[in-house]
Amino acid sequence: MDPILLSRIQFALTAGYHWIFVPASIGMAFMVFLLWTMAAITNEKQWHKAAKFFSKWLGIFFVLGVPTGIVMEFEFGANWSQYSVFVGSIFGPPLMLEGLFAFALESTFLGVLLFGMDRLPRAITWISSFFVFIGSSLSGLWILIANSWQQTPTGYIIQNGRAELTDFMGAVFNPLLVSQYTHTINSAILTGAYIVAAVGAYYLLKKRHVQVARSAVAIGVVVLAISAVIQLYPTGHAEGQVIAKYQPTKLAADEGLFKTEKGAPMIIFGIVDEKNQEVKAAIGIPKLLSWLSFGDWNAEVMGLHDAARYVWYEQVLNNPNFASEKDRKEFIETLMKAHGVDPNAPDANEQMVKVLEEALPVAFMFYAYRVMIGLGTLFILIGLIGVLLLLLGKLYDARWFLKVLVVTVPLPWLASEAGWFTHEVGRMPWMVWGMVTTNTGVSPNVSATHVLITLIGFVVVYSVLFYIWLHFVRKLIREGPEPVEGDVTAKPTPAVSVAGGGQ
């Protein structure tokens, strides 16, 4: 058993599981704020009941998201100690600031919202919902500052065997931050909108809580349509251009591009043959990849081998952020030895190019990327159809569309997970682009047996947590929102206590 592979699997499991709750929490925080805003503006009971109901949903997602996220921070020290030592002075401050400011703000006002919405004035409740959204957005910002820095590192110098911060603002506003942050937060908003719309659609199909359900479906499909378009352009397009410039191996793997091409096509679908380095039965749009990546229909897009050469020779060997030539030499030698390459071999550099080229699972990247893009396109279609039906006054009676919303509610999570796996697997073998690989970042004294035991433990615990989460979701759906006076189809039900899990 390979401890590096097992540690990667363990982190992928914990990060992927954590990501079930993160976009839902951030997205629901935005939707809850919108619902409380509508309740304040209209002073109509159905908006107030909807806001209270979906605030409970937000509480459930938040409660499950916190412990699953904390686990990953422990893994940095346990499984990836060498990585933590190398980037600790840069990676640590954003995580500290996230806990001190964003998480504290979000959790405090979420408590005020959940336990005070029946006791406090509505103005205080609205303010609480606003700060919950701000807190969740700031939490995402600090985490993505750390993540985007790993993808496009700036504001540092390498000396004494580690990266040291030289320009805090330069590190914060690295090339990827703005596009990655807006793309990720917008994805979360899309997820939240989908949840609200799907829950409302479910109640309309069951002819229960009709007034609240209509409000939920209406606001859900409007936000869904807007966020789905924004996800494609400008946020997705902007992030793609940054990746094309700074992470050419990731772009090549995403597109199944093995050979460098001018006027490269955008492949819609095909069958990846990694052995023969080609995409068979490819269906694509001529020159579109070149235009999307560089704004030029005839621009040259590097294939995987040329991209790996560029990364090694230009971004690693010619990295200007070494304190001295001694630091550069020691760094390169350590990197080579970690991947079984003799630094004194005449073809050592070419061997490292091969390491970078072979580290990427092109087929996985190619298909995962198309899952993300395909579902994103579907969300635009569903959102626009929903808005059209709303404008025509047919939304609430279009049972076929309401069924589509209910059946497809898991898809935003699938799209988000596919996007993150593409994003993270696409930087392999780098943990920090051009500096730390999985081989140099892993803990040297953690055995495969230890990792396997904890991995099995995580699977068991996470399975239990997922069951508990499903239990509360079913309970909320079964009991529904509080009845609105005059809604003859609404069934009075006791309220759900998120904190205690009872009535």
Which pLDDT score, from 0 to 100, does residue 107 have?
Answer: 92
Task: Yes or no: say if 72 and 15 are a contact pair by the CB < 8 Å rule.
Answer: yes
pLDDT digits (tens, 9 = 90+) for 163-220: 999 999 999 999 999 999 999 999 999 999 999 999 999 999 999 999 999 999 999 9
Which pLDDT score, from 0 to 100, does residue 495 have?
Answer: 38
Give the predicted TM-score (pTM) of the model.
0.94
| Average pLDDT score over residue span 2-11 | 92
Neighbours of 20 (CB within 10 A): 19
> Which structure tokens are listed for 355?
């390491």
Which pLDDT score, from 0 to 100, does residue 499 have?
Answer: 35
Which pLDDT score, from 0 to 100, does residue 282 have?
Answer: 94
Which pLDDT score, from 0 to 100, does residue 491 have?
Answer: 47
| Average pLDDT score over residue span 456-465 | 92
Task: Yes or no: say if 172 and 145 are a contact pair by the CB < 8 Å rule.
Answer: yes
CA distance 64 to 68: 7
390 has a pLDDT exceeding 80: yes
Greater confidence (321 vs 74) lies with 321
Greater confidence (67 vs 359) lies with 359
Which pLDDT score, from 0 to 100, does residue 486 have?
Answer: 67
CA distance 278 to 274: 7
| Average pLDDT score over residue span 78-96 | 89
pLDDT digits (tens, 9 = 90+) for 125-174: 999 999 999 999 999 999 999 999 999 999 999 998 899 999 999 999 99
CA distance 85 to 100: 22
CA 464 to each of CA 64, 213, 407, 410, 457: distance values in angstroms, whole numbers, following the listed order? 11, 31, 25, 20, 11
Which pLDDT score, from 0 to 100, does residue 17 have?
Answer: 92
34 has a pLDDT exceeding 70: yes
Task: Categorize the per-residue pLDDT at 489 as very low, low, confident or very high, splitting at 50, 70 and 90.
Answer: low
341 has a pLDDT exceeding 60: yes
Angle ∠(47,53,416) on CA atoms, nearest 5: 105
Which pLDDT score, from 0 to 100, does residue 401 have?
Answer: 98
| Average pLDDT score over residue span 271-300 | 96
Task: Categorize the per-residue pLDDT at 2 as very low, low, confident or very high, splitting at 50, 70 and 90.
Answer: confident
| Average pLDDT score over residue span 401-406 | 98
CA distance 417 to 412: 9
CA 116 to each of CA 131, 181, 225, 294, 473: distance values in angstroms, whole numbers, following the listed order? 14, 31, 32, 51, 22
Strand partners, 436: 432
Q: Is 369 exposed, middle or buried (0-12, 13-18, 19+ CB in 10 A)?
A: buried
pLDDT digits (tens, 9 = 90+) for 311-330: 999 999 999 999 999 999 99
Task: Yes or no: say if 77 and 442 are a contact pair by the CB < 8 Å rule.
Answer: no
Tell me the residue length of the chain: 503
Which pLDDT score, from 0 to 100, does residue 98 have?
Answer: 86
CA 283 to each of CA 271, 414, 423: distance values in angstroms, whole numbers, following the listed order? 10, 24, 23
95 has a pLDDT exceeding 90: no
| Average pLDDT score over residue span 372-376 | 97
Angle ∠(39,43,48) on CA atoms, nearest 5: 40
Average pLDDT score, the chain? 93
Greater confidence (101 vs 370) lies with 370
